[in-house]
Structure 1
Amino acid sequence: MVHLLWENILSVRKKSPLVHNITNYVVMNTTANALLAIGASPIMAHAPEEVEDMVGICDSLVINIGTLEASWVQAMLQAASKANALHKPFVVDPVGAGASAYRDTVLSQLVALRPTVIRGNASEIMALAHTNKSATKGVDSTEQSNEALTAAVVLNQKFGSIICISGAQDIIVSKDHYVQVDNGNALMTKVTGLGCTATALIGAFLGCIEDQQQAVISATALMSIAGEIAAEQAKGPGSLQTILLDTLYTLTEDEFKNRINLTTLYEK
């Protein structure tokens, strides 16, 4: 599988998928630059008057609910509906799921449209599946990735979405296959928006990779390995962010293959 994952990274660099992002103010610059670094092309557009046109010209759609506002919610629902009508993949990042009734209502509307992928931390995935017994801590997880595995399976069965649980270990759940990625570094949690960036990268891979589970694993591994390499060179969160972008751009086949740490947790 590792060889196929690297081929997927090369495909993104070669095909330069156009990714429509409706994301939050905090992460726009970071996610756009990360998409450029891996070879994709970002569009950051959230006006309801144009989102359907944008979906029409893009290869995939990324929806991140970090900073909600009524017109943005309208744009998200319009864009997701258009993506479905055009049979284009879309990703939902349920930032802060469980933090407010309004946020949860918006998420219930979005996931009812059956996203291709739902990617969030363990607390968010559990809140989305209504299995979270503890309060959410803003946008941070209060649970470990493996504690959300049951919730991820529930969401996959209910909506058909591939579920990506982020954390110290990232777990990707599809109908017949659960895979764990053991890469990354704890310093990554000290830079805001890197989880949102990982979601955007998933959108890029979905835009040009036919095997959707492979697309999610490839994007997740790429982000985690780049973060791992960057953390070894960084002096702190500020330099990590800069070095991470450079590493996404320069990552080699040997670096990827020598570092990737995959475990199959379940295979039908």
Structure 2
Amino acid sequence: MTPPHPEITPAACAETLQTFRDTGPLVQSLTNTVVTNWTANVLLAAGAAPAMVDNPHEAAEFAAVAGGVLVNLGTPQVETIAAMEEAVRGASAAGTPWVLDPVAAGGLSWRTEVGRRLLSLHEPPAIVRGNASEILGLAGGAGGRGVDSTDTAETALDAAHALACEHGTVVAVSGEVDHITDGTRLVRVHNGHVLLTRVTGVGCSLGALMAGVAAVTDDRVLAATTATALLTIAAEAAATESRGPGSFAVALLDQLALITPEGLESRLRIDGGTA
């Protein structure tokens, strides 16, 4: 009998990356104005097809045909929030997996309330992705310093567990060590590089990658882990050929395209167990 909660292994992530590349999922990204172009380029480099359909007249219709949907609260406006609600409605009706990135949750009351409303509006997100302070803020804490985390992923683990259990979702907490949990399983990803924190939009683009990978596997922990592995391992390779943040950003796009499933499997450093 297949276990209800299979183990997340480097081999499983490699296989999922291959499926992602073979499929080239269409990812609708309702994201912030700072990172729209970057997010589209990250998706293209990784092997997905980006679509930045973020108006309330088309969002629900497009979510129904997309492989995955990202809802990112980085620069919320009244019209874009209406589009996000429509996208979640369309995704829920069609069974399209969607990802919530609650940027700066906890620190700003309106967007925090929007994030909490989206969590309960229709079907829950497949994945909630944020830094530690954003996850704490979404769960009722104070949040961080704007979009920057003032907490570690480890300190947000109890909040992540509670959100996962309450909403039936996977919570991915980004940090020096990324923590991913569905309330039962816990995976820690130890890959990455400090230059990831010096390029605008890397975390936002990770949410888009998670939406893309969630389009090709029903195991949301595996989806979040594979997307995180792809970005962080690409970052390690990009850092070796970079002089600073600017050249790192270009090299990161290159490495997202160049990394193979076999390379991901051999370099991925994860551990996990029961949450």
Pairwise CA distance, 1:101: 1.3
| Amino acid corresponding to residue 40 of structure 1 in structure 2 | A
1:125 aligned to 2:98?
Answer: no
TM-score with structure 2 length normalisation?
0.93
Residue of structure 2 in register with 1:227 after alignment: 235
Whole-angstrom CA distance in 2 between matches of 1:252 and 1:45? 30
1:175 aligned to 2:180?
Answer: no
Pairwise CA distance, 1:214: 0.9
CA RMSD for the aligned pairs?
A: 1.2
5+ residue gaps, structure 2: 1-8
Whole-angstrom CA distance in 1 between matches of 2:63 and 2:262? 36
1:24 aligned to 2:32?
Answer: yes
Residue of structure 2 in register with 1:111 after alignment: 119
Residue of structure 2 in register with 1:194 after alignment: 202
Q: Percent identity?
A: 38
Contact 2:17 2:261 in 1 (8 A): no
5+ residue gaps, structure 1: none
Whole-angstrom CA distance in 2 between matches of 1:40 and 1:70? 29
Whole-angstrom CA distance in 2 between matches of 1:207 and 1:7? 14
Secondary structure class of the residue paired with 1:172: strand
1:11 aligned to 2:3?
Answer: no
Whole-angstrom CA distance in 2 between matches of 1:130 and 1:98? 7
Whole-angstrom CA distance in 2 between matches of 1:60 and 1:257? 24
Contact 1:40 1:204 in 2 (8 A): yes
Contact 2:104 2:144 in 1 (8 A): yes
Secondary structure class of the residue paired with 1:171: strand
**1:1-268 aligned within 5 A:** 1-113=9-121, 114-132=124-142, 136-266=144-274
Contact 1:45 1:51 in 2 (8 A): yes
Secondary structure class of the residue paired with 1:57: coil
Whole-angstrom CA distance in 2 between matches of 1:254 and 1:36? 20
Secondary structure class of the residue paired with 2:156: helix
Matched residue count: 265
Whole-angstrom CA distance in 2 between matches of 1:102 and 1:182? 34
Secondary structure class of the residue paired with 1:146: coil
Contact 2:64 2:93 in 1 (8 A): no
| Amino acid corresponding to residue 58 of structure 1 in structure 2 | A
| Amino acid corresponding to residue 166 of structure 1 in structure 2 | S
Secondary structure class of the residue paired with 2:27: strand
Stretches of 4+ aligned residues off by more than 2 angstroms = 252-255
